[in-house]
Amino acid sequence: MELQVLGTGSSGNCYALYDEQQIVLLDAGIPAKRILRGIDHRVGDVAGCLITHEHQDHCRGARDLYKLGVPMLGTTGTKEALPYIDNNRSMHQRRLGNFSIMDFPVIHDTKEPCGWLLGNTRTGERMLYATDTSGLLFAFPHINYWLIECNYAEELIWDTAPSHRERIRQYHMSMETLATILTRNDLTDCKQIILCHMSRERGDLKLMTRFIAGRTGKPTVMAVEGARIPLNAEPF
Among positions 150-169, residues that touch Zn ion (CB under 5 A) are: none
Helices (H), 89-201: 154-157, 162-171, 175-184
Residue pair 96/73 in contact (Cβ under 8 Å)? The answer is yes
Using the rule CB under 5 A, is 126 a contact of Zn ion?
Answer: no
Closest residue to Zn ion, Cβ-based? 55
Binding range to Zn ion, per CB under 5 A, among 61-69, 120-128, 131-139, 184-192 = 131-139
Give the count of beta carbons closer than 10 Å to the beta carbon of residue 168: 18
Which one of residues 7, 23, 25, 55 is an interface residue with Zn ion (CB under 5 A)? Answer: 55
CB of 90 to Zn ion, least distance (A): 18
Q: Which residues contact 180 (CB under 8 A, 6 or more apart)?
A: none
What are 104's strand-pairing partners? Answer: 115
For the CB of residue 41, give the shortest distance to Zn ion in the complex, in Å: 26
Q: How far is the CB of 232 from Zn ion (least distance, A)?
A: 28
Quote the least distance from Cβ 197 to Zn ion, whole Å.
6
Which lies closer to Zn ion via its Cβ, residue 57 or residue 125? 57
Taking CB under 5 A as the criterion, which residues in 88-117 touch Zn ion?
Answer: none
* CB nearer to Zn ion: pick between 29 and 119: 29
Q: Are strands 46-50 and 145-149 parallel, antiparallel or unpaired?
A: unpaired
Among 27, 112, 132, 149, binds Zn ion (CB under 5 A): 132
Under 8 Å between Cβ of 146 and 83: no
Q: Could you tell me if 72 and 62 are in contact, meaning their C-beta atoms sit under 8 angstroms apart?
A: yes
Instruction: Between 19 and 132, name the residue whose CB sits nearer to Zn ion.
Output: 132
Alpha-carbon distance of 115 to 53, in angstroms, equals 9
For Zn ion (CB under 5 A), the number of binding residues is: 3
Cα–Cα distance measured from residue 4 to residue 158, given in angstroms and rounded to the nearest whole number: 33
Taking the C-alpha atoms of residue 51 and residue 25, their distance in angstroms, rounded to an integer, is 9
| Stretch of residues binding Zn ion (CB under 5 A), selected from 42-50, 55-63, 93-101, 135-143 | 55-63
Assess contact for 127 and 102: CB atoms under 8 A: no
Task: Give the residue with the Cβ less far from Zn ion, 103 or 132.
Answer: 132
Helices 205-216 and 175-184 cross at an angle (nearest 10°) of 20
Q: Which of 19, 27, 54, 57 binds Zn ion (CB under 5 A)?
A: 57
Residue 146 CB, shortest distance to Zn ion, in Å, is 17
| Interface contacts to Zn ion, rule CB under 5 A | 55, 57, 132
